Structure 1
Amino acid sequence: MRNVYIVTHPEATHHVENIVGGWHDSTLTPRGVEDARRVAASLRNLLPEYLPGDNGGTMLFSSDLRRTRQTAETISGLLDLEIIFDPGLREQSYGAAEGTPAGSVSRLPPPAQGNRMQHQDGVEGSETRHVWAGRVYSALDRILAAGARDTIVVTHGGSATYLIAAWIGLPLTAAGYVKFRLSPGSITHLNEDNFYHDRRVLDLNLTGHLGIPEPRA
Structure 2
Amino acid sequence: MFPNIEKFCRKFEFERDSISAERKNILKNIASTIDAEIEKNGKAKLIYICTHNSRRSHFGQIWANVVAEFHGMSSVIEAFSGGTEVTAFHPHSINALSTLGFKITPDSSKSNPRYEVKFGDELSTTCFSKVYDDTENPNKDFIAIMTCSHADENCPFIPGATARFSTPYEDPKLFDNTKLQDEKYLERALEIGREVFYMLSLTTSKKDNAHYS
TM above 0.5: no
Between Structure 1 and Structure 2, which shows a larger proportion of helix residues? Answer: 2
TM-score (norm 1): 0.30
